[in-house]
Structure 1
Amino acid sequence: MKPLHLKVPGYSKFHIDVRKEVVSCFSNPWHFHEELELTYIIQSEGTKFIGDHISEFKSGEIVLLGSRLPHYWRNNSSHYQNSLENSAEAIIIRFSEGFAGEEFLKIPPMKPVLDLIQDARRGIFITGQTSAILQKKMLAFLTMNESQKIIGLTDILLTIAEQKEFSFLCSIGYAHHYKSNDIEKIDAVYDYVLDNFMNDLSVKAIAARCNMNTAAFCRYFKKKTGKTFKDFMNEIRLGNASKLLLKGDFTIFEVAFASGFNNPSYFNRLFKRMTGLTPKQYQKEYINPN
């Protein structure tokens, strides 16, 4: 797919750009940029799309993205319906591989960081104690001058590389296949599905929104995203179902229908295939892990 190519203001001057974003909802479309990006979600929840990866995001998450890796953070519907009560807040650091000079990462002590930057092409989700440590470091990063940022960023990247508390987001075979007119089509599909996944969606209707017939759309979507449209839609629905199950306010039957599954038996089978647990087992394990 062809994400929007964003330019970082002042990037050529300082090589490191940091900002704290406080908005009613995250508004960037599906996009990429030359710089790597480290994002700390201070407050917000929704769905994140990173390469061929789709999952829920929530407050406290930290993600490292490689150069030109497309991504899109989409808040839950409540953020759009009541923007005064639901704010989205994040710290975002964008930087070039040569943020400390072109030769810096080539010296032997920096090899762990160089390897990390290469690994970030698949997207890296920070876990464990490293996440808590980085939250403090990224908050402190906001007040640093340009010289301190170079030291601070090196420290952050070394912490991630040495602690190794992270997981990859994109599949190992993920590749970028972009054309100039893809962004509008993919954005239209994402927005429509996220707003209507609880309904009985017609692939034919969605294909028409992209000015394609059904067969052409299905081939196009698989080529650009690495997954079938049906798998994509099921991932969105299962993500919503997981969230509802953890709230504990609904029966399995109610969760299935609220997530767009008209057949509870099919929902149970699909949920177990994707998570390894039945909806009931998932709910018991994560609501009451002890």
Structure 2
Amino acid sequence: MKVLPFKIPKTDDSSFRVQVDIMPQFYDILHQHPESQITLIVKGHGTVIQGDYIGNFSEGDVFIFGANVPHVLKSDPSYYDEDSTEMCHAICVFFDSESFGKDFFELPEMRSVNDFMRKSVRGLRLNGDAKRRVSKIIIEIEEHDGITKIISLLNIFNLLSQTDEHQWLSKEPHNLNVDESEGKRLNDIFQFTMREYHRPITLDEVAEVANMTPSAFCRYFKQRTRKTYVSFLNELRVAHACKLLLNKEINVTEVCYRSGFVNLSNFNRKFKSLTNHTPSQYQKVHFQEQLL
């Protein structure tokens, strides 16, 4: 999907790029680039979209975004308040298949890494000890140079290729061929939805954002994202509900309405279909894990 192509600046003194972002909000435009990306969220929380995946991100998360796969980290609304003093902080490592030479990943010793990289177009989130170990290397890699910097990235590759402590993001490789103008249209739809999902949204409204009739919009969105707009909207709402349920002061009914659902039974049904838990069960499991 050609969604606002993003050029990663290259330097003459390094075969890959380490970028530290400290800003009021993360870059919030759906975009893609030919490099694979490893990102550590040092500070910040919000919604992550990669391919057909929608979920939440928070401090300590480590993501791998595949090459040429549309993705975005959308900071929570509180980061956009005029009087907000919150800041987002991420460390990103960008590399491509030729960062270490044209045939480097084809070496026999790199077979497991190469297999992992091919699968990584689905994107993934690290868990457990793998997350802790990769986070440590990412934090240190910024201070390294020369061969030490290369060895650090190779250590990350080795860890990633050997661990099963991760969650795949997209259900399948996401490689859609959409021109730049359609990419902008999709981004407008995503931005509108992420801004307005807390209230009822009609198909007429979102179709107007896309400058289409409702029926044409429904076909367009399904073709481009492999899901209906209603499914996309419900996934955003459930992702937001998951964040609200982590607050003991907010009851399930309030979470339902603050997430954009108009009745409790529909909320419970959609929530369970996407998380395999009822809202109450989800909340209970989370607080039990905190006690461990």
Relative to the length of structure 1, the TM-score reads 0.95
Residue matched to 1:100 = 100
Using the TM superposition, name which of 42-51 and 184-193 deviates more: 184-193
CA distance in 2 between partners of 1:117 and 1:148 (Å): 22
Aligned residues of 2:43 and 2:60 also touching (Cα < 8 A): yes
CA distance in 2 between partners of 1:274 and 1:44 (Å): 24
Q: CA deviation at 1:175?
A: 3.0
CA distance in 1 between partners of 2:12 and 2:229 (Å): 39
Residue matched to 1:202 = 202
CA distance in 2 between partners of 1:175 and 1:232 (Å): 18
Residues 2 and 107 of structure 1: CA distance in aligned 2, closer, same or farther (over 3 Å): closer
Residues 82 and 45 of structure 1: CA distance in aligned 2, closer, same or farther (over 3 Å): farther
Q: CA deviation at 1:126?
A: 1.1
Residue matched to 2:212 = 212
Aligned residues of 1:15 and 1:96 also touching (Cα < 8 A): no
1:11-26 → structure 2 map (5 Å cutoff): 14-26=14-26
Aligned residues of 1:26 and 1:88 also touching (Cα < 8 A): yes
Using the TM superposition, name which of 33-42 and 100-109 deviates more: 100-109
Residue matched to 1:179 = 179
Residue matched to 1:4 = 4
CA distance in 2 between partners of 1:12 and 1:3 (Å): 27
Residue matched to 1:163 = 163
Matched, 1:263 2:263: yes
Residue matched to 1:91 = 91
Q: What is the DSSP-based 3-state SS (H/G/I as helix, E as strand, rest coil) of the residue aligned with 2:246? A: helix
Q: CA deviation at 1:250?
A: 1.6
**1:203 partner amino acid:** L
Structure 1 residue runs of 5 or longer lacking an equivalent are: none
Q: CA deviation at 1:35?
A: 0.9
CA distance in 2 between partners of 1:208 and 1:270 (Å): 26
Aligned residues of 1:24 and 1:83 also touching (Cα < 8 A): no
CA distance in 1 between partners of 2:88 and 2:187 (Å): 20
Residue matched to 1:114 = 114
1:1-290 → structure 2 map (5 Å cutoff): 1-10=1-10, 14-82=14-82, 84-172=84-172, 174-289=174-289
Cα deviation per residue 1:227-246 (whole Å; 9 max; x = unaligned)? 10000000011111111111
Aligned residues of 2:37 and 2:92 also touching (Cα < 8 A): yes
Q: CA deviation at 1:12?
A: 7.4
Q: What is the DSSP-based 3-state SS (H/G/I as helix, E as strand, rest coil) of the residue aligned with 1:42? A: strand
Cα deviation per residue 1:6-61 (whole Å; 9 max; x = unaligned)? 11212677330111110010124111111111111100100001011110111111
Identity %: 29
**2:89 partner amino acid:** E
Aligned residues of 1:25 and 1:83 also touching (Cα < 8 A): no
CA distance in 2 between partners of 1:241 and 1:193 (Å): 15
CA distance in 1 between partners of 2:226 and 2:83 (Å): 34
Using the TM superposition, name which of 176-185 and 89-98 deviates more: 176-185
CA distance in 1 between partners of 2:180 and 2:84 (Å): 36
Structure 2 residue runs of 5 or longer lacking an equivalent are: none
RMSD across aligned C-alpha pairs, in angstroms?
Answer: 1.6
**1:274 partner amino acid:** L
CA distance in 2 between partners of 1:14 and 1:46 (Å): 31
Residues 35 and 11 of structure 1: CA distance in aligned 2, closer, same or farther (over 3 Å): farther
Aligned residues of 2:69 and 2:175 also touching (Cα < 8 A): no
CA distance in 2 between partners of 1:219 and 1:139 (Å): 44
